[in-house]
Amino acid sequence: MRMFAIVLILCCTAQAKDLSPELREKLLDSVTERREQSWDIARKIWNAAEPGYQEKTSSSLLADLLEDAGLKVQRSVANIPTAFTAEFGVEGPLIGILGEFDALPGLSQEAIPERAPREEGNGYGHGCGHHLFGTASASATIAIVEQIRNGTLKGRVRFYGCPAEEGGSAKVFMVQAGLFKDCAAVLHWHPSNRNASGDRSSLARMAVKFRFFGKAAHAAGAPEQGRSALDAVELTNHAAQLMREHTPDLTRIHHVVTSGGDAPNVVPAFAEVYYYIRHPEGDVVRPLYKRLKLCAQAGALATETKLQINFEGGIREIMPSQSLSRLVSKNLRQLNDLRYTEEDLQFAARMREQLPLPKPLDAIERVDDLSGTVGKGSTDVGDVSWVVPTTGFNTACWIPGTPGHSWQAVACGGTRIAEKGMHLAARTLAVSAAELMQSPDVLNQASAELKMRLRNRAYESLMEPGQKPPLNYRNKTR
């Protein structure tokens, strides 16, 4: 409690320097002038809907855009083919802006308010709005670059093209490659069904695939000769269910069976289950993961199958920054002008019929304060926030009440409803980054706050020693 009080006192001492009206207007005009271009790129990424680490089209669209705008682009950073950085400026504080662009499996969807997959089966869709995320961040970066170039703003800016946020943990490897070590602050945002900001944390997470290898046999004629890999998966899952009762509060354990055999009359020789385990503290997740591995080992032992553990990576919880979030929250509130057109309202009315918990449409006119809360999701932004002061925010890109990771979110993401939220995000990022470049006291305060929150703890990732990016983690397992 005492440490929290110290942080509160510290964060009330420094004030950001307001931009001149002329500079502020130039930044906002720059974003608006590219509004249609940005929407065109976002729609192309939405249409491409590429899996994590395989976002060749999406990554190139953004990298090419930034390169054409005069930024120095470095591709395939951190030994990841679709990761890149784009930088401009030679002096002054360096502000990082994150961008993402991967899609989710099983969420292919047309931009209409009823279920209509664009691709059957495991088709991908932007159920988390990363087509908007990367594009808005790129637009804001270019707006900053234009003002640095013409001498009205002093500083440096770096865009981070971040693949595979959805389970691939690319930012962890980018942190380990030292790509953030010279940043003064990092900004990010995320599409949502509401506008929100504040010094919010998140859940740390570890991901693993348990693969079991048994012996195939005729399930009726010679069952005694088979050793079922599917049985091993089922025993693992049962053990994990029992383990839930004996875990710390706020633990989350969830799984999907990615392979369980092909025919009921054949004893499955191969099966796989994919697990996430989460908690608000990474130091709690690590021992829970060890216990989860015991569940899988027990499943293999009981079924006489061979276990292969494919650890997919771990990500830390977000380390909040009240120093930065106050500045960003102010700008988001000042710039929020979201309103729905008649066309938007017609779409929203039909979509609300598809939502389990629709919310009032006028909710987009406010900005919710999330300070002091812990989000129920996980993001590799957390690892970035352990090494450099970091803050983010949400804008309403889906109609209120739309759950993330849903076909409804994909559908909204292909409409002008999403474009409006993306435009608000780009303007907020541009103004906030410029204010930080002109506010050394805020940057120093944010750095001091991060040190206090860490309490002398050094950053330690949840990856295993020598872990490489799981570039094929979205590949279908057989």
Kindly report the CATH number assigned to the domain that includes residue 409: 3.40.630.10
Residues 169 and 87 in one domain: yes
Where in the sequence is the domain holding 32, given as residue range(s)? 2-201+317-454
- pLDDT for 333 equals 98
Output the pLDDT for position 18: 86
Same domain, 195 and 209: no
Q: Is the pLDDT of residue 3 over 70?
A: no
Residue-wise pLDDT for 155-207, tens only, equals 999 999 999 999 999 999 999 999 999 999 999 999 999 999 999 999 999 99
pLDDT band at 475 (very low <50, low <70, confident <90, very high): confident
Query: Is 80 exceeded by the pLDDT of residue 5?
Result: no
Whether 455 has a pLDDT exceeding 60, the answer reads yes
Number of domains in the chain: 2
| Percentage of the chain modeled with pLDDT above 90 | 93
How far does CA 422 lie from the centroid of its chain?
Answer: 15
**Is residue 426 included in any domain, yes or no?**
yes
Question: Are 139 and 184 in a shared domain?
Answer: yes
Order of strands across the sheet that contains 204-213: 252-259, 270-279, 204-213, 306-315
Q: Judge if 295 and 438 occupy the same domain.
A: no
262, 283, 315 — which closes off a domain? 315
In this structure, the answer to whether residues 405 and 258 fall within a common structural domain is no
- Same domain assignment for residues 219 and 169: no
Quick check: is 113 in a domain? yes
Q: Answer whether residue 440 is part of any domain.
A: yes
CB neighbours of 231 closer than 8 A, spacing ≥ 6? 214, 299, 302, 303, 305
Residue 298 neighbours by CB distance under 10 Å: 16
Given a cut of 50, whether residue 4 has pLDDT beyond it is no
| Ramachandran region, residue 304 (left: φ > 0; alpha: ψ -120 to 50; beta: rest) | left
Q: What is the pLDDT of residue 477?
A: 62
| Domain closes at, from 286, 315, 344 | 315
Residue 101: pLDDT above 70?
yes
Residue 466 lies in a domain: no
Q: Measured in whole angstroms, how far is the alpha carbon of residue 226 from the centre of its chain?
A: 42
Number of other CB atoms surrounding residue 225 within 10 Å = 11
Model pLDDT for residues 276-290, shown as the tens digit of each residue: 999 999 999 999 999
pLDDT digits (tens, 9 = 90+) for 323-334: 999 999 999 999
Same domain, 209 and 173: no
10-60 confidence digits (pLDDT tens):
545 688 878 999 999 999 999 999 999 999 999 999 999 999 999 999 999
Residue, of 219 and 456, whose pLDDT is higher = 219
pLDDT digits (tens, 9 = 90+) for 404-419: 999 999 999 999 999 9
What is the structure's pLDDT at 374?
A: 95
Element (H, E) at 135: helix 130-149
3-state SS assignment for residue 275: strand
Percent of residues, the chain, with pLDDT higher than 70: 96
User: Are 56 and 8 part of one and the same domain?
Assistant: yes
pLDDT of the residue at 119: 80
- What confidence score (pLDDT) does residue 478 get? 54
The pLDDT of residue 363 is above 90: yes
139 and 9 assigned to the same domain: yes
- The enclosing domain of 238 has a CATH number of 3.30.70.360
282 and 427 within one domain: no
Residue 1 pLDDT exceeds 50: no
Q: Is residue 304 part of a domain?
A: yes
Does residue 335 share a domain with residue 251? no
Q: Is residue 474 part of a domain?
A: no
Specify if 296 maps to a domain.
Answer: yes
Q: Which two tokens stand for residue 85?
A: 């950085």
* Mean pLDDT taken over the chain: 95
Contacts for 149-155: CB closer than 8 Å, 24+ residues apart? 149/70, 149/88, 152/22, 152/23, 152/26, 153/23, 153/434, 153/437, 153/438, 154/91, 154/92, 154/437, 154/438, 155/89, 155/91, 155/92, 155/93, 155/94, 155/95, 155/434, 155/437, 155/438
Mean pLDDT, residues 430-447 taken together:
98
Of the candidates 12, 15, 157, 18, the one whose C-alpha atom is nearest the C-alpha of residue 435 is 18
